[in-house]
Amino acid sequence: MNIVQNQLIRWIETHTVSDIVILTDAKISQLYPDYFNQLKETYSTHTILLPEGEKSKNIDVCRETWEKMLSLPIDRNALIINWGGGSISDTGGYIAGCYKRGIRYINIPTTLLAMIDAAIGGKTGINFAGVKNAVGLIYLPETVLTDASFLNTLPYEELRSGYGELIKYAMIDDDNLWEEIKGNTAISPETIDPCWIQRCSTLKKKITSQDLYDHDLRRVLNFGHTVGHAIESYCMTQGTPINHGHAVALGIICESHISWQLHRISKCQLDEISQYIKQLYPLPALPQEANEKMLEFCLNDKKNNGKCLNITLLDEPGHATPNYEISTDEVLASLHHLRTIYH
């Protein structure tokens, strides 16, 4: 047994648990068919397969899972294990939070994005009526157990997506991490130091425990996300979607440029960040005519009030401050910078 398998057994041994329900998808369970063998020998364990990726974040998937759990039957002392990426932990956390008014769950993330971000902090939920994360709960897992060896089978695009969030953590609260990662010019399971995962997840845990309901401090985690979401949404509407972390990485370039416009970081720091991201992430097609649409997406961002945009800005790489009001002109200038550096 590896460390995570041991930690899981130890957790279960020290708590009252009736049944265990593993929520995962077919791909993960086929890649790692023996992962829970030890657990299955000792405890009453049921595996329920959800659709892969974003398709699991759906009310019908929740309804079918609740029906299966009721028919087994699964009682209030059961434990759910969400074994997968952010789609599984978002959906599974929501399923756990609603079932019999809330049963316990543990996340075992299998993507980089989930290890450092999605599995931590208790934001759970599904997409509804075409709106992403429209329905959900803040409902914390008992614990998050991270086994970095899952990254060995993660497709490159997914790994690179998670790495976009890792760059964000390096930007917002850990100057040493930025110093370490900026020498890394290839994204692969071998070049991602498990210590980086540990530092990012600790940081997310620290920030979310201080501001669980996203009133203030937690907004620092949105660095790169206002413009990033706009790029992600624009690409989606064009039928050429890019991964979330890819869009965040491009958003980091733009929001670093806004930090520079407002004299918070130097030109040298801006160039260093921009060039680093440029070598790892391609620029999707973002013609000049896309600006208006992207501004609209920025203004629709839930963090804004009125015509001003509320974003997190860098004080320097490694330190950021949330809740700056900026203008749409500053966003337009940052999009111009993005196109220029890729030219």
Query: Binding residues for ligand NAD, per CB under 6 A?
Result: 25, 27-28, 31, 52-54, 57, 84-88, 90, 110-111, 113-114, 117-118, 121, 123, 133, 150, 153-154, 158, 161
Which C-beta is closer to ligand NAD: that of 91 or that of 259? 91
Give CA separation, 135 vs 15, 24, 130, 236, 301, in Å. 30, 20, 11, 21, 17
CA distance 309 to 325: 5
Which C-beta is closer to ligand NAD: that of 138 or that of 299? 138
CB 245 within 8 A of CB 165: yes
Identify the DSSP state of 115: I
CA distance 62 to 91: 7
CB of 232 to ligand NAD, least distance (A): 10
Which C-beta is closer to ligand NAD: that of 240 or that of 340? 240
Which C-beta is closer to ligand NAD: that of 201 or that of 261? 201
Give CA separation, 10 vs 3, 5, 15, 145, 296, in Å. 10, 9, 9, 12, 50
Phi, psi (degrees; rounded to nearest 5) at 86: -60, -30
Which C-beta is closer to ligand NAD: that of 27 or that of 182? 27
Other Cβ atoms closer than 10 A to 25? 20
CB of 55 to ligand NAD, least distance (A): 9
CB of 31 to ligand NAD, least distance (A): 6
CB 116 within 8 A of CB 201: yes
Instruction: Return the bridge partners of 20, or none.
Output: 45, 79
Torsion of CA 168, 169, 174, 176, to 10 degrees: -70
Which C-beta is closer to ligand NAD: that of 274 or that of 312? 312
CA distance 216 to 56: 30
* Collapsed DSSP state (helix, strand, coil) of residue 74: coil
Which C-beta is closer to ligand NAD: that of 54 or that of 316? 54
CB 120 within 8 A of CB 201: yes
CB of 90 to ligand NAD, least distance (A): 5
CB of 46 to ligand NAD, least distance (A): 20
CB of 21 to ligand NAD, least distance (A): 18
Q: How would you classify the pairing of strands 131-138 and 123-128?
A: antiparallel
Which C-beta is closer to ligand NAD: that of 189 or that of 284? 189
CB of 114 to ligand NAD, least distance (A): 4
Give CA separation, 323 vs 110, 207, 220, 223, 271, in Å. 32, 15, 8, 10, 24
CB of 28 to ligand NAD, least distance (A): 5
